Structure 1
Amino acid sequence: MAETVSKRLKTSPPQIGTHNGHFHADEALAVHMLRSLPAYASASLVRTRDPSILAECHTVVDVGGEYDASRNRYDHHQRTFDTTFPSRPTKLSSAGLVYLHFGRELVRRKLGLEESDSAAPEVDLVWNKIYESFVEALDAHDNGISVYDPAAVAAAGLTKRFSDGAFTLGAMVGRLNRNWNDPAPEDPAEAQRDEDERFLAASARIGEEFDRTLDFYTRSWLPAREVVRAAFEKRKEFDPQGRVLVFEGPSAPWKEHLYTLEDGSESVLYVLYPEKPTPDAKWRVQTVPVSKDSFESRKALPAAWRGFRDEELDGISGIDGCVFVHAAGFIGGNKTFEGAKAMALKALEE
C-alpha cells in the first residue's frame, strides 16, 4: 500500500485493460482515477474479455477474475472476493479497489504534498471521507447492495412519495450505454469503436464528478475543519460550559466538523457568526441541530422570541439591536456581536 505508483509500473507507456460490452460506473471511474496519475497519464486502454490480450496488459480492472495488487489486477467478481475499505462494510468493486490502492496518492497530489507526506493525517482524513461520500456508493451499486435494508423497508410499509428520476452515479453512467433499440454498426470493429467511445465519455463524465468531489474536500471541506477546530478550542471563552461556538473571522460550513470534534458529547448549542466579512456586519445566532440533516434543534431559541423582529423583539428579549428570530426558533440575528452573544447566553437560561 505504501509503494508508489511509479515503482509498480515497469512498462512505458502502460496499457490498462477492462471488459468490453455493457459498461458500469465502477470501471469507468477506475480507469479515470488511474489516468489521473502521472504514471498512467499516457496509458492506452483496451476493452476485451480475451484472456490472452488481458494477460499482456499492465493493469486490469473489473475483469479477469483476479485481485492481486502486486500484479496490478483489480477484479472483484470471483466468489472468494470479500475485500472492503478500512472500517467500512461494503464489498469493493473495481472503483473501490483502485481507490484503495491509489486514492491516497490522488489526495496527496491534490493537496500539493510531497511523496514523503503520504502518511500525513490530512491525507488519510480526505481519503476516508471521499470513499464514504462518493466511491462507496459505486461499490454498493455494482455489488447489488441497497441503501436501506429492503426487508426492513417492506416491514415498515415505506414507499416513495415521488420519483427522483433514478439519478444516481451508477445511472448517470448507465445512460451512456447503447439503448436496446439503438442501431449498432454492422462491422464488428466499428461497433467496438462506437462502444469504446461511449465508455470513454462515461469515464470522463463520472471522472469529472470525482474530480469535483476531490477538489471540494481538499480545497473547501478540509480548510473548513481547521476553522471550526479553532473556534471549538476557544468556545469556553464565551460560555464556561462551552455551549456557544463563535466564528470571529470567516465562518465556514461547520455542522459535520462540529459533530466530529464533539465526539458524541453534544456540548455546543448555539453558533455565532457574522453575515459577511466586514466590521459593520450583522451577526447570526444559529442553533445546532440534533444531527447534520435534522430540522430539530438541540435547544431552540426561546418560544417567546420566535417570529418577532427589530424593536418589538428588543422589548420582548430585553436585548438591544435584535434583527429577528425565525418562527421555527432555529436562527436569529442581531446588529452586533455583543448583541448576538447576549441573545445566545440569555437563551441558554430560558
Structure 2
Amino acid sequence: MLRTLSRMASPAKRLKATPLRIGTHNGYFHADEALAVYMLRLLPEYQDSALTRSRDPAVLEECDIIVDVQGQYDGTKHFDHHQRTFSETFSSEFQTKLSSAGLIYKHFAPQIISHRLSVPVDDPSVKLLYNKVYKDFIEAIDANDNGISAYPSDIKPAFNEKSISLPSLVGLLNPEWNDPVKTQESEDEKFLEASKLMGTVFVQKLDYYGKSWLPARDYVVKAIEGRFEHDEKGRILVFPQSIPWKDHLFTLEAEAAIEEEDKKPLYVLYGEGGEKPNWRIQCVPVSKDSFESRKPLPEAWRGMRDDDLSEVSGISGGVFVHASGFIGGNKTFEGALEMAKKSLEL
C-alpha cells in the first residue's frame, strides 16, 4: 500500500515541478500586457511561470493563461480585449473599457493585494485598496491602450506630456525597426524590461497605498472628530506629523455630510522634522487635485520669511509663507495654530 501511494504521488510531484505558462503575443508590445504579465507573476502560482510570446493559436493554447491575444475573454484562461464584442469595465462606476492589464487586475488583484500586504483576502482594506489602485493607476493604462483621451478633443494641451508617460517609455523599449540584429530572443528580453518597468511602478503604488496611504485614514478620522478643539466651527485639523491626508479628508467629509462651507476644514497643521519639529500650516484645496485653496493664508504674509514674517504677522517664530499662500511654517505648534486662527479672521 505504501509503495502504491508513493507511485501515485510521483505524477503530482512532477506536475508541481512544471511551471505554469503565460502566453501573450510577440511583435510590438504595449504597457498593458507588460503589466498584466508582471501582475500574474506576483501570484504564488505564477511566481516561477514561463512566458511564451507568439501569435500562433496552437502554441498559445498550450499555455495556462493567455493575455492580450486570441480574441477571447472568459475570465479563466483567456484575457483579451480586442474582439469587437468586448465591452467589459472594472465596475458599473466606470466607463473605461478594460485592457489586458485591467482584466488581469479585475480578476486577480484581490489575491495580489492580499499576498503582497499579508492580509486576508476578505479583509475590508483589500476591497478599499482594490478600488483605489484601479482608479488612480490601472484605469489610465486601460484608457491609454484603448485610445481614450482624458480630456475633450477640442482642448489643446499647453505642452506635450505623452512623451514622459509610462506607455511611451514602454514604447521606447521596443526594438527599433531598423535594428540589424533584431531577433525573437532580443525582443523577448526587451519585453521583460518593459514588464519590470511597469511592474515596479505598480508594486510601488500598491505598497504606498497599502502601507502609507491607508494607515493615514485613521489619523484623519481622529482629526475630524477632534476638529472643534481648536476652532468652534471645526475649521482647523491637527496631525502629529505629515501624512497623506487630502484623499481621506474629501472622502470623509462626504461620508460625514459636512456640506456647509463655513464648517468645512480650511487649515491643516502638522509637525515636520526631528525631535523638535517645525510646524506647517497647509490650506485645504477646493478639491483633491486643485492648486486653489479654500482660504489661502493672508496676502500680506505671502513670500515672507523668518523675522520679516513674524513682524508682519505679529506671531513669533515665523519660518515662511509660500508666495501663493497655500502653505506656511512656524517653529512651534502654538505659533502655527495662532497663524491659522488669525488667518480665519482676516
Normalising by the residue count of structure 2, what TM-score does the alignment of the two structures yield? 0.86
Contiguous gaps of at least 5 residues in structure 1: 1-9, 186-190
Checking the alignment, whether the CA contact within 8 Å between 1:284 and 1:334 is kept in structure 2 is: yes
Checking the alignment, whether the CA contact within 8 Å between 1:110 and 1:218 is kept in structure 2 is: no
Checking the alignment, whether the CA contact within 8 Å between 2:241 and 2:272 is kept in structure 1 is: no
Distance 1:229 1:30 in 2: 35
Give the alignment partner of residue 243 of structure 2, picking from 234, 239, 252: 252
Distance 1:51 1:301 in 2: 64
Partner residue in 2 for 1:262: 253
Name the amino acid aligned to 2:34.
A
Partner residue in 1 for 2:332: 336
Partner residue in 1 for 2:79: 74
Q: Within 5 Å, give how 1:219-258 maps onto structure 2.
A: 219-247=211-239, 249-258=240-249
State the superposition RMSD in angstroms. 2.2
Partner residue in 1 for 2:150: 147
Checking the alignment, whether the CA contact within 8 Å between 2:162 and 2:168 is kept in structure 1 is: no
Pair 22,269 (structure 1): closer, same or farther in 2 beyond 3 Å: same
Pair 334,177 (structure 1): closer, same or farther in 2 beyond 3 Å: closer
Pair 321,92 (structure 1): closer, same or farther in 2 beyond 3 Å: same
Give the alignment partner of residue 197 of structure 1, picking from 176, 189, 195: 189
Distance 2:336 2:48 in 1: 57
Checking the alignment, whether the CA contact within 8 Å between 1:59 and 1:73 is kept in structure 2 is: yes
Residues 97-155 of structure 1: CA distance to partner in whole angstroms, max 9, x if unpaired? 00001111111122211xxx3122211111112112221122111111112121x32xx
Q: Within 5 Å, give how 1:156-195 maps onto structure 2.
A: 158-160=156-158, 162-164=159-161, 166-184=163-181, 191-195=183-187
Partner residue in 2 for 1:35: 41
Checking the alignment, whether the CA contact within 8 Å between 2:19 and 2:49 is kept in structure 1 is: yes
Distance 1:159 1:311 in 2: 42
Pair 288,53 (structure 1): closer, same or farther in 2 beyond 3 Å: same
Pair 325,195 (structure 1): closer, same or farther in 2 beyond 3 Å: closer
Pair 339,84 (structure 1): closer, same or farther in 2 beyond 3 Å: same
Name the amino acid aligned to 1:259.
F
Partner residue in 2 for 1:20: 26
Partner residue in 1 for 2:3: none
SS of the residue 2:268 aligns to: strand
Give the alignment partner of residue 52 of structure 1, picking from 28, 35, 58: 58
- Deviation at 1:39? 0.6
- Deviation at 1:57? 1.6
- Deviation at 1:174? 1.3
Partner residue in 1 for 2:11: none
Distance 2:124 2:219 in 1: 17
Distance 1:45 1:305 in 2: 60
Give the alignment partner of residue 273 of structure 1, picking from 257, 270, 273: 270
Pair 299,66 (structure 1): closer, same or farther in 2 beyond 3 Å: same
SS of the residue 2:52 aligns to: strand
Indicate yes or no: 2:315 matched with 1:303: no
- Deviation at 1:268? 0.6
Partner residue in 1 for 2:9: none
Distance 1:177 1:39 in 2: 28
Pair 275,74 (structure 1): closer, same or farther in 2 beyond 3 Å: same
Residues 66-121 of structure 1: CA distance to partner in whole angstroms, max 9, x if unpaired? 1111x3210111111100012221100111000001111111122211xxx31222
Give the alignment partner of residue 120 of structure 1, picking from 113, 117, 123: 123
SS of the residue 1:119 aligns to: coil
Checking the alignment, whether the CA contact within 8 Å between 1:51 and 1:64 is kept in structure 2 is: yes
Distance 1:165 1:65 in 2: 28
Contiguous gaps of at least 5 residues in structure 2: 1-14
Pair 202,316 (structure 1): closer, same or farther in 2 beyond 3 Å: closer
Residues 190-222 of structure 1: CA distance to partner in whole angstroms, max 9, x if unpaired? x22222222222212211221222222222222
Residues 287-318 of structure 1: CA distance to partner in whole angstroms, max 9, x if unpaired? 11212333322112233444445555555544
Indicate yes or no: 2:98 matched with 1:92: yes
Partner residue in 2 for 1:218: 210
Checking the alignment, whether the CA contact within 8 Å between 2:34 and 2:194 is kept in structure 1 is: yes
Name the amino acid aligned to 1:201.
E
Partner residue in 1 for 2:6: none
Distance 1:35 1:95 in 2: 13
SS of the residue 2:329 aligns to: strand
Aligned residues: 324
SS of the residue 2:188 aligns to: helix
Distance 1:334 1:159 in 2: 38
Give the alignment partner of residue 287 of structure 1, picking from 275, 283, 287: 283
